[in-house]
Amino acid sequence: MAHKCYILGGGESGAGAAILAKKQGYDVFVSDAGPIKNIYKEELKEYGIEFEESMHSEERILSADEIVKSPGIPEKSEMMKKIRKQGIPVISEVELAYRFKGDSKIVAITGSNGKTTTTSLAYHICKHAGLDCALVGNIGISIAKQVALDPKEVYIAEISSFQLDDIQEFRADIAVLTNITEDHLDRYDYKFENYINAKFKITKNQTANDSFIYCPDDPVTAKYLKKLTLQSNPLPFTMKQEPQKGAFIKDGTMTIAVNDDKLTMSVDDFKIKGKHNQYNTMAAGIAAATLGIRKEKIREAVTTFESLEHRMEMVALVKGVEYINDSKATNINSTWYALESMSRPTILILGGVDKGNDYEVLKELVKEKVKAIVCLGLDNRKIHEAFGDTVALMVNTTSAEDAVKAAYHFAEKGDAVLLSPACASFDLFKNYEDRGNQFKQAVRNL
C-alpha cells in the first residue's frame, strides 16, 4: 500500500506539496474546506491528483498515514482537532520539501518585518554570483513545487511562523531571523511567547555546521537568545556593537566578516534606502558570504538591487493612505498574490491590455478586500462585467494621473491604493516600468 499523504488546503503551498508527494509515489488526496482557485485546480488535474473543495471527507482524511497542513489552517479548526485526537502525524509543506531536497542547501528567512526584501536581496546576490538557486516559499513558488519540478542547488526561502509550526526534521543550513514584533497572535492563543517560540523553531535542528543570522538590536530576539542553547554558528547583524563575526554598520560603513574575505562598503552605495533596509542588507549579505560568495559579487549586487521596484513597492503615505506600485503584475496570478497580501481596505487600479484574463479567480479576494476599482485602460468592459455586481464603486480612466486622482478621491485614512493591473501596459504606456513610474510621479504630485 502506498503511503497515504493527505493534504489540507489547496493553495500554492498545498498544491506544491501534492505535486511533490505524487512524484514521490505517495497516495495523494487534497481537501480544502473552501473553494480552490482555478489556477491550482488546473495544476492538480495536470498531475492526476484527486481533490475536493468546500468540504472535508472526514472518514477519508482520518485514514491518512500523514497530513500536510497548509499554513493558513489554524489548529482550532474542527478537522485539525479530530486529526490531532487520532494522533496522525502532521507536517508542513516545507517539511515535506526538506525530505526530498537531496544535497541542496536551504537559506531560510523568517521574521515579522523585512523578510521579503531580505529574501529577494539574498536571491539577487546569489543569482548575480552565478549560483544555481531558486527564490521560494511565501514569495513566489512553494518550496515543495520547486523541489518537485525544478530542483536547484540552493533554495532561498521566505518562511512564516505558521510553516515552522509543523516542522520535525527540517533544517536550514543558513537561518535568518530579521526581528520579532507582535503579529498573528490570534494563532498563538494571544501569547506572544508562543509566537516567539514558533519563530525560533528555525534554529531547531541546526548543527555546528549551520549558521544562524540574527539581529541583537531587536530586544525580543536578544532577550530570547539568552534562554536558548544554540547548536549553530551565531552571526549577528547590528548597528550598536562591532562583532568579530557577522555584520555591523558604523559611521555609515557596513562591514561583513564571516570568513577571511572581509567586505566593507558605504551605506550610501546601497540601492535600497532607509534604516530598515540597511538591516535587511546586512542580513542578506551575511547569508551570501556564508554561502562562499566573494565580496566583489556581494558589493555589485547590493548596488544594483532593484528587483523590488514595481513589485509591491511602497510609494508614499498620503493623508493616512498607502500607495503601492505593483505595476509588474501583468497577469491575474500576480494580482491575486498582491491582493492576498493586503491588510488594509483597498482601492484597486486594474486594467490595460487583457491577455484573455479570467477575472473569476480574483472574485473572492476582490469581494473581501476591495472597496473601489479604478480601471486604467482603453477597453474595460470585461472588468466591469466581472466585478460590476461585487464592487459598487467603479470608474474608467486613461492616464496614470487620472487613475491616481480617482483613487485619491475614493480613499479614506487607513485605506491603501494598489496599482496591480493584471494586464499588459501597451495600450497607454511603453511598458510596465513606464506605467509604474508614471503612477509614482502622479502619487508624488498629490
115 is in an annotated binding site: yes
Residue 219 to residue 370: CA distance in whole angstroms:
36
Looking up cell 501596459 gives 425
Starting at the edge strand found earlier in the chain, the sheet holding 246-250 runs 133-137, 154-158, 105-110, 174-177, 211-214, 233-238, 246-250, 253-257, 263-266
Give the helix, strand, coil percentages of the chain, each rounded to 5: 40, 20, 40
280 is in an annotated binding site: no
259 is in an annotated binding site: no
281 is in an annotated binding site: no
Residue 437 to residue 392: CA distance in whole angstroms:
29
203 is in an annotated binding site: no
Radius of gyration, CA atoms only, the chain: 23
Q: Write the DSSP assignment of 315-334 as a string of letters.
A: EEEETTEEEEE-TT--SHHH
Contact by Cβ (8 Å): 178, 109: yes
Q: What number of H helices and E strands is found in the chain?
A: 17, 20
104 is in an annotated binding site: no
* Beta-ladder partners of 234: 212
63 is in an annotated binding site: no
How many CA atoms lie within 13 Å of 162's alpha carbon, on the beta-carbon side? 17
Contact by Cβ (8 Å): 144, 150: no
For 120, residues 6+ apart whose C-beta sits below 8 A from its C-beta are 135, 139, 305, 307, 308
Which helix (DSSP H) or strand (DSSP E) does residue 397 occupy?
Answer: strand 393-397
C-alpha cell at 411: 480613499
Handedness of CA 384, 312, 170, 219 (dihedral sign): negative
Handedness of CA 206, 207, 211, 214 (dihedral sign): positive
Residues in binding site: 111-117
Give the residue numbers of the binding site for ATP: 111-117
